Structure formats: C-alpha cells, structure tokens
Amino acid sequence: METAKGEAALGYVKNRLQAGLVPEVSVEVWVTIDQDEKGKKIARELEIDKASLVDRGACGPDKGCGIGLKEEEKEEVEMGVVPKHPWRYGKDAEASWSKPSLGDFTDKSWGELGDEEKRSIAGHYAWAPENPPERFTDLKLPHHRPGDHAVVWNGVRAAMAALLGARGGVDIPAGDKRAVYNHLAAHYKEFDKVPPQVTFSDDGEVIEVMWMEEEDKLEFEAQPEPAEAEQAEQEAEAQEQAEEYYGAETVSDNELAHYEKLLAEKDEEIAVLKAKLEELEKTKAELEAKVKEYERAEREAIITELRKYNPDFDGEGKNLAELRELLEFVKNIKVPLSGRKSLVVSPEEEPVDPAKAYEAMLRKKMKEIRRD
C-alpha cells in the first residue's frame, strides 16, 4: 500500500465505498489442477498473478465477494452523502437561479426543525456531510427550487461548474466528488443535455475537464469579483473563529440573514399597521367633525322649533339631550298654546295667562330633568 499503485487502489476503494458501492476485483491466478476420488477437477496451490480493480467482477457482492477497508483505514475516509429526494419534483429549464437561504425554505431556525424537515431541505442540495446535517451551512451545491422542489437547469449548471472548480470550487472531500458529479450528470440527462466529460484521479479529484457544452463554459468561466471572494473568505474565517470560541451552535450567516429577513418583514407589518391606524384616526376625526356639525345643526333646529312656542327661548345652558326632551314635551302638550290669548277653564277657575302657564310647565320640566 506504500507504492503509487497501492495508493491508487486505496483511492478507488474509498471512492466506491463513499458512493455506496462495493469495490469489486478481477483476479488471475496460477493453479495446480488435481482430481478428487470421483475424478472431479480441483484447483490447488493458487498463486495470484494479477489483481485488477473493476466496476463489476465475476464474483460480485451478491455472492459475498468484494473489498472492504480495515477499521484504521475507514477512520481516514471522510464520508459525505448525496441527499436523496424525499419528494417528487418537476423541471424548470428557463428560470434564473440564485443560492437559496434558510428563510426561503422555512420561517423556523435550523435548530427548531425536525429531522424529516432537515432531510427535505437537504434534498435540494447535491452534498451534505451527513443527513440530516447538523447545520444548514453544511449543505453544498443547491439546484432544486424551494417551495415546489423543481430542479432548475441554471442551478444544475452552476452546481456542476462549482464542482469542477469554477468560482473557487466547492469545499467537499475529494472522495465524494465523483458521486456528486454522477448525481448532477443525471439531472443533465433530464434536460436532454450532455454533462461535461471529466477525468478523475484515483482519490476523486478532478484531473481534467475534457469537454463541455458552450453554456457550461460560460458558467465555468464566470468568476466572482476579487472583493466578493475576499469578503466571502473573511466571513467564512469569522464564522470558523466564532464556532471555535462559542461552539458549533453559533448562528450561521444564513440563519442570521433569515432572522434579519424576519425582522424586516415584521417592520414592514408594523409600518402597514401604523399607516392603517393613521387612516383610522383620520376617519375618526372626520366622523367626529361630522357628528359635531350634525349636533350643532340639530340644536339650532330644536331651538328654532321651541321658539315657535316661546319666542324668547334661547336654549342657553342646556345640552342637546335636554333640548330634545323639551321639544318632545312641548309637542305632547294636549292644549295648544301658540296663538291663544287665554285658556278655556271651568267657571270655578280664574282665567290663566298662556305665556305664564307655558313658562311654568317648562320650569317644572327642567327641574325634573336636572333632578333625574
């Protein structure tokens, strides 16, 4: 295993295991042919002449054949996963693409989500260190649209370009890159596209991109502005330092952006409510002004009506309710007072002055109103 061929063989084995496949082998041997008591031929004294690692051997894992790794070798392998799609999805060949944030998937923080919710979100990406991931920022190479889960062609192209080194590449173990490539290449075929032709090293690194379509070249050649790349590197370094100091539960940039988005939405809601409140206050003031105008007009109308019974009545000191009650009282007097100089009385009674009788009735009524 210390030779170059040994390292190449180990890299192949690791790649196959990380892709969820059992590495197989084709072996050529020298043997001594013997016969048993019944004359059946038996191979004895086997001596290996050649051993070739293959994708499909004569004796496959269904028959118990295959290559594994010793425990100490397994510990050296960083095992990532290509998340499965836990939902059905459509295709979108035209939509533009931008990297989604956690807020595009949910209003919750990552810590509030259950494992199934995390796996559903992970299904929009091409790589995760584990599933469900410990942090949202662990997910790499998104290409499915949040909401309807549709695979977006421009997202697939962007993910493939990053896998092959565009825009600074993607930080995933070399041994996982072939599996990620195969996943994205399958999406290419869904859009009737030919994926880039790539040569991988034995340990999974991209050695050479031999061919790609013109639109892939445009995506591959696009590079971030130096300032953006430097800023991204500084943010990543700051996040690592924060996690080292505070622990892995530090709020990520995406989660912080999610919270800031929620606060912005709440601020917008508050602004809308304030605008509605101001509109209601304005409407209230207009209604109060109309009520006051109506009460003023009604007051003048009642006083004018009462002056038909008493020309000297001015209504001073009386509120609208009192004026209404006085008007109702006057209208219910059975004996008309206006236009009469005297009241008809019985012979035993003295004639009464109508004006004095009217004032006496009003005075009595006012006392009753104030007493009540």
Q: What is the pLDDT of residues 28-37, one digit of tens each?
A: 888 888 887 7
Q: Give the chain's radius of gyration (CA, Å).
A: 46
Inform me whether the pLDDT recorded for 106 exceeds 80: yes
Domain identity same for 143 and 174: yes
Domain identity same for 103 and 12: no
Smallest CA-to-CA distance from 10 within 152, 174, 192 is with: 174
d(CA 357, CA 322): 20
What is the share, in percent, of the chain residues with pLDDT greater than 90? 29
Domain identity same for 297 and 352: yes
- How many distinct structural domains can be found in the chain? 3
Smallest CA-to-CA distance from 136 within 150, 152, 117, 154 is with: 117
For residues 271 and 346, the model is more confident at 271
Domain identity same for 97 and 181: yes
What per-residue confidence (pLDDT) applies to 5?
A: 73
Smallest CA-to-CA distance from 68 within 118, 105, 22 is with: 22
Q: What is the mean pLDDT of the chain?
A: 78
| Stretch 347-367: mean pLDDT | 64
Q: What is the 3-class SS of the chain, one letter each residue?
A: CCCHHHHHHHHHHHHHHHCCCCCEEEEEEEEEEEECCCCCEEEEEEEEEEEEEECCCCCCHHHCCCCCCCHHHHHCCCCCECCCCCCCCCEECCCCCCCCCHHHCCCCCHHHCCHHHHHHHHCCEEEECCCCCCCHHHCEEECECCCCCCEEHHHHHHHHHHHCCHHHCCCCCHHHHHHHHHHHHHHHHHCCCCCCEEEECCCCCEEEEEECCHHHHHHHHCCCCHHHHHHHHHHHHHHHHHHHHHCCCCCCHHHHHHHHHHHHHHHHHHHHHHHHHHHHHHHHHHHHHHHHHHHHHHHHHHHHHHCCCCCCCCCCCCCHHHHHHHHHHHHCCCCCCCCCCCCCCCCCCCCCCHHHHHHHHHHHHHHHHHHC
Domain identity same for 211 and 311: no
121-138 pLDDT, tens digit each: 999 999 999 999 999 999
Domain identity same for 108 and 207: yes
Give the domain extent around 191: 91-225
Would residue 251 count as lying in a domain? no
Domain identity same for 340 and 367: yes
d(CA 140, CA 145): 14
What per-residue confidence (pLDDT) applies to 115?
A: 94
What per-residue confidence (pLDDT) applies to 247?
A: 47
Domain identity same for 288 and 191: no
Would residue 255 count as lying in a domain? no
Instruction: Write down which residue in 186, 209, 225 finishes a domain.
Output: 225
What per-residue confidence (pLDDT) applies to 216?
A: 74
CB 137 within 8 A of CB 252: yes
Domain identity same for 70 and 97: no
pLDDT class of 96 with cuts at 50, 70, 90: very high
Domain identity same for 102 and 47: no
Would residue 53 count as lying in a domain? yes
What per-residue confidence (pLDDT) applies to 11?
A: 75
Positive or negative, the CA dihedral 154, 158, 164, 166 is positive
| Stretch 293-322: mean pLDDT | 85
d(CA 277, CA 178): 59
Burial class (CB in 10 A: 0-12, 13-18, 19+), 195: buried
Inform me whether the pLDDT recorded for 227 exceeds 60: no
What per-residue confidence (pLDDT) applies to 249?
A: 46
CA 196 to chain centre: 33
Instruction: Write down which residue in 24, 48, 75 finishes a domain.
Output: 75
pLDDT class of 120 with cuts at 50, 70, 90: very high
Smallest CA-to-CA distance from 82 within 116, 133, 117 is with: 133
What per-residue confidence (pLDDT) applies to 250?
A: 47
Would residue 43 count as lying in a domain? yes
| Stretch 287-302: mean pLDDT | 90
What per-residue confidence (pLDDT) applies to 100?
A: 93
The Cβ of residue 143 has, within 10 Å, a number of other Cβ atoms equal to 22
Would residue 253 count as lying in a domain? no
d(CA 124, CA 140): 9
